[in-house]
Amino acid sequence: MSDLTFFAGIPLPHGATLKEDGINFSLFSRHGSSVILELFDCPEADTPYYSYTLDPKVNKTGNIWHVFVRGLEKNALYLYRVNGPFIPSEGLRFNVHNYLLDPYARALANFDAFTAAENVQTTPTHVDGDLSFSTKISAKNFPKCIATDISEFDWQGDRPLNYPLRDCIIYEAHVKGFSVHPNSPQEYKGTYKGIIESISYLKQLGITSLELLPIQEFNENENTRTNPRTGERLRNYWGYSTIAFFAPKANYAFNKIGSGPVNEFKEMVRELHKAGIEVILDIVFNHTAEGNQYGPTLSFKGLDNFIYYMLEDNPRYYRNYSGCGNTVNCNHPVVRSFIIHCLRYWVVEMHVDGFRFDLGSILGRDSKGSLLENPPMIERIAEDPILYHTKIIAEAWDAGGAYQVGTFPGSRWAEWNDKFRSEVRLFWRGDTPNAHRLATRVTGSSDLYLDDGRKPFHSVNYVTCHDGFTLYDLVSYNRKHNDENGEENKDGSDDNCSYNNGFEGPTENKAIESIRRKKAKNLMSTLLLSLGTPMFLMGDEVLRSQNGNNNAYCQDNEISWFDWDLVRENEGMLLFMQKLIHLRKMHPIFRRAEFLTGKGDENRKGPDISWYNAKGFPPNWEIPSQFLAYYLDGTKARTRAEYDDNDFYLMLNASSFDVTAVLPVPLRGRSWHRLIDTSYPDGEEFLSEKEDALIANQRRYVVLAQTIVVLIAK
C-alpha cells in the first residue's frame, strides 16, 4: 500500500489498462457525484486494503472518472463505489454503500460469490421494497474485478477465420455441457480445455463454426427455484443473464486464477482455428442480470441507471422488452459505444469470428421502446470498420412483441429463420399439406430476403436450437415435460410442431424407434440440403434427449449435458450426419450465393430448378400436397469447369402412403444414381458417391411413406 502513488490518469481507454509502471482506471458516470476506487488483496476480502476517492477537479474529464495508480501490478483486484442521488422516482439509484463491477472488467475473481443467500435476487415482501436505502456494505460475497494483462498470450499468428456464411455449417453448443458428463472422454470436463479435447470429434463431424451459448460472466446461482422431483437447487445453466460483458466465464476455465480464464478462452479459440473451426458467440445485450426495480445492484444500476436502461414514463420502473425485468437502452450514444467497444474486444483481443444477438430486435428500440426505422445501433454494428467481416446474426424478435424475421434492418445482417424451423417441422409431422410453403424455405426463403438485397445465406436455417425440443424429442413427444423446472410445467412453448409417433417418450417398441430415426434423418437432410446457412443443436447428431424438457435453461445436469455414450449407441445416426455435412461441403449446388430463379441464364438453357409432382408434371401449388420434388441443375454452380457440379433430384414424401414418382430425364446424357433413401436401415440409407447405386428403372422410383430420397446424376 505504501508503494502506491495516485495520479490524475487519462479517460481512455475505458476499464483497467496496464502500463509499464502501474494501472490506469477509467469509468463512466454522468450523474454520479463522486467515485471511490477500492483495492483488495484477495478475492474473498470483506474490506479493501486501500480506498481512493477520485477528485472531480483532477480525476474527471467530461463524464469519465479516471486515475492512474503507480506501483499497482497486473491481476490487481478492484471494485468501485459511486455516490449520487437516490431518487427512484427520477430513475436515479445511486448508493455509495453498493460495490459495483467495472463494465469493462476483463475478468472476475470470486466468481462463486453469489452462492451467498444474501446475494440471491428475491422480490421484497413489500411493494415499495425498492425504495429502501441500504447502508450495509460488504465485499465478502461480491466478485472482484481483475486488472488482467491482455497482451501476454501467444496467438502463434492466429486470426479470425471469417468463412463466407454460405460455406458455414453452425453447431450450437454449451461450453460446459459439451464435455462435463461423467462418461465424457475429456480430462478437463466442462471447460474451455474440454472443448479443445473435443476438436477431433467436431472435425470428424464436419462442422465449420461452433456457436457457443453465453460465455460472458453470469451468476449461475440466481435461480431460487428447486427441482420438485429431486429437491435440488436449480441453476442458471444457459447463461442469458450477463454480469460482465468483457469477461469470459471463470467457471468454464480449469485455471480460474487471475488471467487464467482469459488465456484459456484464447487457447480454445486458437486451437479451434487451427482445426479450421470458427467461434461464434451468443451475446446478450438486450438485458442484464440486474433485473427490475427489485433486482440487485451489481454495476450499471449504480453507475448511471437512467442512461443504461429503458425506464417507464414513471422512471422508478423498467421497460421490459426482454422478459427478464429490464431492457438495455441500446440506442443511447453512451450505450452504443459500450456495445461497439465490447464487440471489438471479442474480435480484436479474443479473435472470435461472429456473434448471434439474443432478442436482437431490442437493438432497434429507442429509449421509450419504440422500434426505430433506421436504428443507429444496428447500423453501427453492421458498418463498423473493425467488425465489417465479422458474422452478425440476429434473433430477429423480442419479448415485447417485435417480430422482424425478413425485415431486420440492414443488408449485412443474417437472421435465425424460425419460419424455416416451423414449416420443416410441420411438413415432416405429416399432418399439414404445406409442400408449397416448404418449397420457399428449402430454396433460401426468397419471400423474406430477396426484396432488400440479401442472399439465401442470410437465412440461418434450423430445426432445433437450445430453446425447444432436441431433434430426438421432436419426434418422441407430443407435449413438453418441464415439470422439473419448478414452474408447474407452465414455462416453455406449447407450440412445438412435434409428434411422438405412437408413444410419449422412450419406448422399447422397435418399430416406433425406427420411424423416429427415419424422421430425424428426414429433418436433418432437409436442413443440410437447403439453401441458406444451416445450424443444428449439440447432440442432435447422436439423438440426444432432454426427456421432453423444451426449456432446460435451469437444468445443469444430465438432462442438458452431452451424453457421450450416445456416440456409440447411435453411431448410425452420427455417420449419416457426417455424410450429409460432407455432401453439402462437396457440392456448391447446395451453397449457392444467389436465389434460384426457375429460369435459364447465360450458362444454361434450362431452369436452375424445376418443380415436379409425383406424376412428373409441374405441380399445381394451389392444391395442398405432402409430396415435394425438385430438380437442381448443377451447371455453373461455380465457374471452375464446364459442368462444375452434379445435377440432383430430391423427393420428399411426408404422407402416410408410398408414392411411385415419375422421374425427369437427367440432362447431358447422364443417369440417376441413388444417394439417399431414408427408408433403408442405418448404413444403407446413405451411399457414398463412389458406391451409389445406379437405378434400374430410370423413369420411376417408389418413395416410401415419410421418406426423403436424393438422386444424383452421373
Q: Which amino acid is at 247?
A: A
Mean pLDDT of 692-698: 92
Q: In terms of DSSP bridges, do strands 414-417 and 672-677 run parallel, antiparallel, or are they unpaired?
A: unpaired
Name the residue among 284, 337, 269, 374 with its Cα closest to residue 64. Answer: 337
Share of the chain above pLDDT 70, in %: 96
Mean pLDDT of 632-654: 80
The C-alpha atoms of residue 703 and residue 657 are separated, in whole angstroms, by 9
For the ranges 22-26, 603-607, 637-641, the lowest mean pLDDT is seen at 637-641
Q: What is the pLDDT of residue 639?
A: 44
Within a 10 A sphere around the Cβ of 255, how many other Cβ atoms? Answer: 15
The C-alpha atoms of residue 401 and residue 321 are separated, in whole angstroms, by 8
Mean pLDDT of 497-520: 97
Q: In terms of DSSP bridges, do strands 92-93 and 108-109 run parallel, antiparallel, or are they unpaired?
A: unpaired
What are 640's three cell numbers?
471452375
Structural contact between residues 552 and 450, judged by C-beta atoms closer than 8 angstroms:
no
pLDDT at residue 136 above 90? no
Q: What pairs with residue 6 in β-bridges?
A: 69
Structural contact between residues 628 and 439, judged by C-beta atoms closer than 8 angstroms:
yes
pLDDT at residue 61 above 50? yes
Q: Please count the residues of the chain.
A: 714
The C-alpha atoms of residue 167 and residue 90 are separated, in whole angstroms, by 51
pLDDT at residue 641 above 50? no
Q: Is 600 helix (H, G, I), strand (E, B) or coil?
A: coil
C-alpha pair distances (Å), 571 with each of 205, 504, 508, 563, 682 = 12, 24, 18, 13, 9
Residue 637 pLDDT level (bands cut at 50, 70, 90):
low
Q: What dihedral angle (degrees, nearest 10) is formed by the CA atoms of 98, 104, 106, 110?
A: 10
Q: Which amino acid is at 443?
A: T
Q: What is the pLDDT of residue 600?
A: 77
Average model confidence (pLDDT) across the chain: 94
pLDDT tens digits for range 521-579 = 999 999 999 999 999 999 999 999 999 999 999 999 999 999 999 999 999 999 999 99
Give the CATH number of domain 5-147: 2.60.40.10
pLDDT at residue 122 above 70? no
pTM of the model: 0.96
Q: Is 406 helix (H, G, I), strand (E, B) or coil?
A: coil
C-alpha pair distances (Å), 560 with each of 17, 235, 248, 351 = 38, 12, 21, 28
Name the residue among 181, 261, 254, 159 with its Cα closest to residue 215. Answer: 261
How many Cα neighbours within 13 Å face the side chain of 555? 27
Q: Is 702 exposed, middle or buried (0-12, 13-18, 19+ CB in 10 A)?
A: middle
Please provide residue 502's backbone torsions phi and psi, each rounded to the nearest 5 degrees.
Answer: 115, -15
Q: Is 706 helix (H, G, I), strand (E, B) or coil?
A: coil
Longest dimension (CA), the chain: 91
Q: What pairs with residue 648 in β-bridges?
A: 632, 712
Q: Which residue has the higher pLDDT, 458 or 602?
A: 458
Q: What is the pLDDT of residue 690?
A: 82
Q: What is the pLDDT of residue 120?
A: 43
The C-alpha atoms of residue 220 and residue 556 are separated, in whole angstroms, by 9
pLDDT at residue 646 above 60? yes
Structural contact between residues 331 and 367, judged by C-beta atoms closer than 8 angstroms:
yes
Sequence ranges of the chain with CATH classification 2.60.40.1180: 597-713
Q: What is the pLDDT of residue 173?
A: 98
Q: 597-713: what CATH class? A: mainly beta
Q: Is 204 helix (H, G, I), strand (E, B) or coil?
A: helix
Residue 164 pLDDT level (bands cut at 50, 70, 90):
very high
Residue 126 pLDDT level (bands cut at 50, 70, 90):
confident
Q: Is 365 helix (H, G, I), strand (E, B) or coil?
A: strand
Question: In 3-state terms, the chain is what percent helix, strand and coil (to 5)?
Answer: 25, 20, 55
Helix axes 333-348, 376-383, angle to 10 degrees: 30
Residue 56 pLDDT level (bands cut at 50, 70, 90):
very high
C-alpha pair distances (Å), 163 with each of 160, 166, 265, 344 = 9, 8, 20, 18
The residues carrying an active-site annotation are 358, 395
Structural contact between residues 417 and 461, judged by C-beta atoms closer than 8 angstroms:
yes
Residue ranges of alpha helices (H) inside 417-556 are: 418-429, 435-442, 446-449, 471-474, 510-528
Mean pLDDT of 145-164: 94
Sequence ranges of the chain with CATH classification 2.60.40.10: 5-147
Q: What is the pLDDT of residue 127?
A: 84
pLDDT tens digits for range 329-369 = 999 999 999 999 999 999 999 999 999 999 999 999 999 99
**Residue given cell 438432462 in the structure block:** 559
The C-alpha atoms of residue 554 and residue 230 are separated, in whole angstroms, by 14
DSSP string, 86-141: EEGGGTEE--TTS-B--TT-S-EESTTGGGSGGGS----SSTTGGG--------TT
Residue 108 pLDDT level (bands cut at 50, 70, 90):
very high
Q: What is the pLDDT of residue 119?
A: 46
Structural contact between residues 532 and 445, judged by C-beta atoms closer than 8 angstroms:
yes
pLDDT at residue 181 above 90? yes
Name the residue among 359, 417, 354, 401 with its Cα closest to residue 382. Answer: 354
Share of the chain above pLDDT 90, in %: 89
pLDDT at residue 118 above 70? no
Within a 10 A sphere around the Cβ of 225, how many other Cβ atoms? Answer: 12
pLDDT tens digits for range 16-42 = 999 999 999 999 999 999 999 999 999
Name the residue among 167, 155, 38 with its Cα closest to residue 96. Answer: 38
How many Cα neighbours within 13 Å face the side chain of 169? 24
pLDDT tens digits for range 195-248 = 999 999 999 999 999 999 999 999 999 898 999 999 999 999 999 999 999 999
